């Protein structure tokens, strides 16, 4: 049995690394190839990788690796300028207030989900995953303002979506009473996660600062670069914080990871930038293995019953983002029509969305509530279509609109 489990992880790592290498050679979007490799290796393809054989240990490991990705995003979330901060705030509020009910309506009317599960889908569909958006932004070389806006949207809505979806699921299962209890549970998990993450980030940044000072005092100048101890300490604090938050308040670990990354990034400045080079490589490694592994769990049996109604639901969900972006841009002269057009199209869903709905489907099956398979199938269909369509077309759209950041030209040595 242990050999089979090792083979699953080995196959997932190999599929992910092969997708990354192919993306680098061909220039194709890496997230699309990662998804394709997972489908080929999993139930929808050659049926080599069986993630369900990993058992209960898969969920906490996915959570830890996702927290690393969110921490990396928070570390780089430095929203300079009030216009950008206001744009992020308006985008998040518009999608929360209008995006959730619209997505629920589409899931009910087109995909046939009952209203209770349609609302859960609406919450899950809010998230535009940093695990997908961040690699796409870096590969597209977007201008900093657009890249930061897309990444900030995903970093904020990812944990909000997971917590909100869990609360609505508990309503469906009858575990919660009125809407007052729903609101208090939502605020407790989000607020508690942000507070605990902020405290952990504060302690971690102070420890890293003291380690840097001690290293400089012992070895003189030139030793300020992060060493193995700083990276190990960062990962140790991050993973302990995430697992502790999940034990105290389920789903609070995701907002905690973002909050901790933001605090460390703001307090350490240049040192955080140096540390981020290492954290970013580990985050990309997490994406490389997780995306094929979770995509391998998708089977055609979960997708085919949705039919054209499910496809129409996802297409409508992608198109309805355009008027939401237009509402977001009201009163924001910093966004022109080209930037709004790009923001209206790029909204792929990612790993956290897949992990959350897989957990929710298991909870529904245990409670013998019908519709868990349809909910999981619709969410995975949303991931497949948004990552596939937007991942392939985004480079063309960026070049067409002229929104790519110009590459820096190397300086020529001056003649002496």
Compute the C-alpha angle 11/376/59, nearest 5°: 50
Cα separation, 40 vs 212, whole angstroms: 46
Tell me 368's DSSP state.
Answer: T
This model's pTM is above 0.75:
yes
Which residue ranges of the chain lie beneath pLDDT 50?
221-224, 226, 408-416
Q: 203: exposed, middle or buried (C-beta count within 10 Å: 0-12, 13-18, 19+)?
A: middle
Question: Would you state the structure tokens that stand for residue 96, as one six-digit string?
Answer: 């929360």
Task: Report helix angle 253-268 to 58-75, nearest 10.
Answer: 30
Q: Locate tokens 């990444």: which residue? A: 151
Residues 242 and 223 sit within 8 Å (Cβ to Cβ): no
State how far the alpha carbon of 226 is from the alpha carbons of 219, 249, 258, 286, in Å. Answer: 13, 33, 21, 21
Cα separation, 307 vs 378, whole angstroms: 10
Cα separation, 290 vs 61, whole angstroms: 10
pLDDT, position 318: 92
Backbone angles phi, psi at 30, to 5 degrees: -65, -35
Q: Nearest 10 degrees: CA dihedral of 301, 302, 303, 307?
A: 80
Query: Which tens digits make up the pLDDT trace of 212-232?
Result: 778 777 765 444 454 578 888
Cα separation, 54 vs 20, whole angstroms: 24
How many residues in the chain?
A: 416
Question: Would you state the structure tokens that stand for residue 184, as one six-digit string?
Answer: 């208090």
Would you call 331 helix, strand, or coil by DSSP? coil
- Secondary structure of 260-310 as H, E, C letters: HHHHHHHHHCHHHHHHHHHHHHHHHHHHHHHHHHHHCCCCHHHHHHHHHHH
pLDDT, position 348: 87
Question: Would you state the structure tokens that stand for residue 367, as one six-digit string?
Answer: 């409670």
pLDDT, position 270: 61
pLDDT, position 408: 44
Cα separation, 298 vs 302, whole angstroms: 7
Where are the alpha helices (H) located in 125-227, listed in sequence order?
130-140, 144-172, 179-219
Residues 125 and 98 sit within 8 Å (Cβ to Cβ): no
Compute the C-alpha angle 343/348/351, nearest 5°: 145
Residues 159 and 190 sit within 8 Å (Cβ to Cβ): yes
Question: Would you state the structure tokens that stand for residue 125, as one six-digit string?
Answer: 């569909």
Give 224-267 as a DSSP string.
-S--HHHHHHHHHHHHHHHHHHHHHSTT-HHHHHHHHHHHHHHH
pLDDT, position 411: 43
Question: Would you state the structure tokens that stand for residue 303, as one six-digit string?
Answer: 């997708």
CB neighbours of 106 closer than 8 A, spacing ≥ 6? 313, 316, 317, 320
pLDDT, position 1: 54
């Amino acid at each position: 049995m242990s050999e089979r489990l090792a083979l699953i992880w080995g196959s997932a790592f190999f599929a992910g690394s092969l997708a990354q290498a192919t993306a680098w050679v061909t220039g194709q979007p890496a997230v699309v190839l990662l998804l394709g490799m997972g489908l080929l290796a999993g139930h929808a393809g050659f049926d080599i990788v069986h993630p369900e054989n990993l058992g209960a240990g898969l969920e906490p490991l996915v959570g830890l690796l996702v927290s690393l990705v969110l921490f990396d995003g928070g570390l780089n979330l430095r929203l300079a300028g009030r216009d950008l901060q206001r744009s992020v705030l308006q985008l998040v509020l518009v999608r929360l207030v209008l995006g959730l009910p619209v997505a629920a309506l589409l899931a009910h009317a087109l995909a046939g989900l009952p209203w209770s599960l349609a609302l859960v889908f609406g919450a899950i569909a809010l998230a535009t995953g940093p695990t997908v958006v961040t690699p796409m932004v870096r590969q597209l070389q977007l201008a900093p303002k657009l890249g930061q806006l897309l990444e900030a949207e995903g970093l904020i809505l990812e944990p909000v979506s997971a917590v909100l979806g869990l609360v609505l699921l508990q309503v469906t299962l009858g575990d919660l009473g009125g809407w007052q209890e729903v609101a208090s549970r939502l605020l407790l998990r989000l607020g508690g996660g942000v507070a605990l993450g902020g405290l952990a980030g504060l302690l971690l940044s102070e420890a890293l600062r003291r380690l840097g000072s001690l290293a400089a005092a012992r070895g003189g100048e030139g030793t300020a670069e992060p060493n193995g101890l700083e990276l190990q300490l960062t990962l140790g604090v991050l993973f302990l914080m995430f697992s502790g938050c999940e034990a105290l308040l389920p789903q609070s670990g995701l907002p905690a990871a973002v909050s901790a990354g933001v605090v460390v990034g703001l307090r350490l400045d240049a040192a955080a930038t140096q540390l981020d080079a290492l954290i970013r490589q580990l985050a990309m490694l997490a994406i490389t293995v997780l995306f094929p592994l979770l995509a391998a769990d998708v089977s055609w049996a979960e997708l085919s019953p949705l039919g054209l109604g499910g496809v129409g639901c996802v297409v409508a969900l992608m198109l309805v983002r355009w008027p939401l972006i237009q509402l977001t841009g009201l009163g924001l002269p910093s966004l022109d029509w080209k930037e709004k057009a790009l923001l209206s199209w790029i909204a792929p869903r990612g790993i956290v969305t897949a992990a959350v709905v897989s957990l929710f489907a298991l909870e529904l099956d245990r409670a013998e509530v019908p519709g868990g398979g349809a909910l999981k199938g619709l969410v995975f269909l949303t991931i497949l279509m948004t990552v596939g369509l937007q991942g392939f077309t985004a480079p063309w759209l960026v070049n067409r609109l002229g929104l790519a950041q110009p590459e820096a030209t190397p300086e020529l040595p001056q003649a002496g």
